[in-house]
Structure 1
Amino acid sequence: MDANDVLKYRLRKGFIGIQNIGCRAYFRNIEIRPLPDKEHWIGLLESGVDGFETPGEADWQIENDTLTGKGGDGQATTKQQFEGPFELQVWVKTIVNGNGGVLFNCGGQPVEVQCFNAPDSTNPTGSLYGIAPARRVLSHDEQWFLLQIFTDGPNAMVLVNGEEVCTTNKLKPPYRGGIGFQQHTPGAVIQYRGARLKAWPDGFSK
């Protein structure tokens, strides 16, 4: 899978399919054996709200591996620092015209990946805010969507629901810091579920 650019960055999970095209076929003794986890993911929500700095007016709660921000404008940033190359995965849901984002390199010039499902926006969901706009919008309010962020020095790539929507090679150092989750629209709600991060020792090619 790693040799295929389309599959290399997709989730390593899904359904098992059996196909038959117009002929008789038999399948038997189908078994699945789990292999040891070699990916070494770091869960970002496991320490609870105590693991975050939460400046601003937003109210933040963590329950069932889901970070919920509501109320005013604010941000929840991990106290733990990270440096690329890495992949960040998180499921996001915006409610009531929610507007937020996921930030990295928060130790220097923070980079925001926008979460705002407005096709006519200058920076819709998946955009690297102020750097490169998403080429298309693949997400909707009230529905969970998968955000994948790959970063390696000046390079970054964003996937929404498994599809590449944005890339850049223009990020500025320093390339380290906490991971931030933003709630921006007063009165709206935004949720971040299953946020996790893993290192890519060899970087990523794009």
Structure 2
Amino acid sequence: MIRVSVIFATVLVLFGCSGAKKAGGGKGWISLFDGKSFDGWKFSEKPGTFKIENGSIMVAGPRSHLYYDGPVMNHDFKNFEVKAQVMTKAGSNSGFYFHTQFQERGFPDKGFEVQVNNSHTDWKRTASLYDIVDVREVYVKDDEWFTLYIKVDGKNVTTKINDKTVVEWTEPAGATAPKGHPGRVISSGTFALQGHDPKSVAYFKDIMVRPLP
């Protein structure tokens, strides 16, 4: 009877990840984007900002956000590693949100933005934890694919570009959200890609997550 229960529980876990596939990124990594469709993703105000091009998500158009709304962890992640292949075009501004939730309009109030910006007029560059730990240094060039990596473990947040650590930050005890970002505190939530403005063009592919205990 115990063996049957274990088998049944295992089936339930596997079923809960249906609609997502194990990724080639190593043990425990799960793909969130199939490279062909927006299955498991939900658009906010301007869905035309996002298109699929050559297996990647092309971001180009008016302000909008694309939220992961799929079955993996019921799109509610607390502790995790997430990574994506990213490429920016000249002058573009985008972002990768975590611990956020779907919002019909505007920039997400809840969660944190990891900046994607190598040459925009905004000086806060790629892998900055936006308005928390802002980085001026440019680590990668436009028109080149790079790996953006984010890890959240308890109150600790790490961002990397191509395996180089850019930000290591621990939310202090009793922290409150910064001005202008009412939900920017460690909690849990989903991921989102940012369409910042019509002149900003960026690409995302191979979006993978590894949930942590």
Question: What is the one-letter code of the residue matched to 2:32?
Answer: L
Mark the runs of 5 or more structure 1 residues left unpaired by the alignment: 1-35, 202-206
- In the alignment, which residue of structure 2 is the partner of 1:6? none
CA distance in 1, matches of 2:40, 2:206: 15
Structure 1, residues 112-143: CA drift from partner, whole Å, max 9, x if none? 00001139844211100011013632111111
Give the TM-score normalised by structure 2: 0.69
SS at match of 1:56: coil
Query: Paired residue for 1:176?
Result: 188
Residue 78 to residue 167, structure 1, CA distance change in 2 (3 Å): same
| 2:29 aligned to which of 28, 41, 51 | 41
Q: Please give the alpha-carbon distance, in whole angstroms, between the structure 2 residues aligned to 1:147 and 1:124.
A: 12
In structure 2, how many angstroms separate the alpha carbons of the residues matched to 1:98 and 1:37?
27
Paired letter, 2:80: F
Name the structure 2 match of 1:140: 141
Change (3 A) 1:129 1:118: same
How many angstroms apart in 1 are the aligned matches of 2:202 and 2:26? 31
The runs of 5 or more residues in structure 2 that have no matched partner are 1-23, 102-108, 172-183
Q: Distance in 2 between matches of 1:37 and 1:157?
A: 18
Q: Of 171, 179, 190, which residue of structure 1 is paired with 2:202?
A: 190
Q: Which residue of 2 aligns with 1:25?
A: none
Q: Which residue number corresponds to residue 24 of structure 1?
A: none
SS of residue paired to 1:72: coil
Distance, in Å, in 1 between the alignment partners of 2:197 and 2:25 is 38
2-structure distance, mates of 1:189, 1:66: 12
**Residues 86 and 148 in structure 2, CA contact (< 8 A), matched pair in contact too:** yes
- Deviation, structure 1 residue 39: 1.4
1:169–1:97 distance in 2 versus 1, CA, 3 Å:
same
Separation in 2, partners of 1:116, 1:37: 25
The number of residue pairs the alignment matches comes to 165
The equivalent residue for 2:41 is: 52
CA distance in 2, matches of 1:143, 1:55: 28
1:74–1:38 distance in 2 versus 1, CA, 3 Å: closer
CA distance in 2, matches of 1:184, 1:169: 27
TM-score (norm 1): 0.71
User: In structure 2, what residue type is equivalent to 1:73?
Assistant: R
Tell whether 2:196 aligns with 1:160: no
Per the alignment, residue 84 of structure 2 pairs with 90
Q: 1:119 to 1:164 in 2, by over 3 A?
A: farther
Sequence identity, in percent?
26
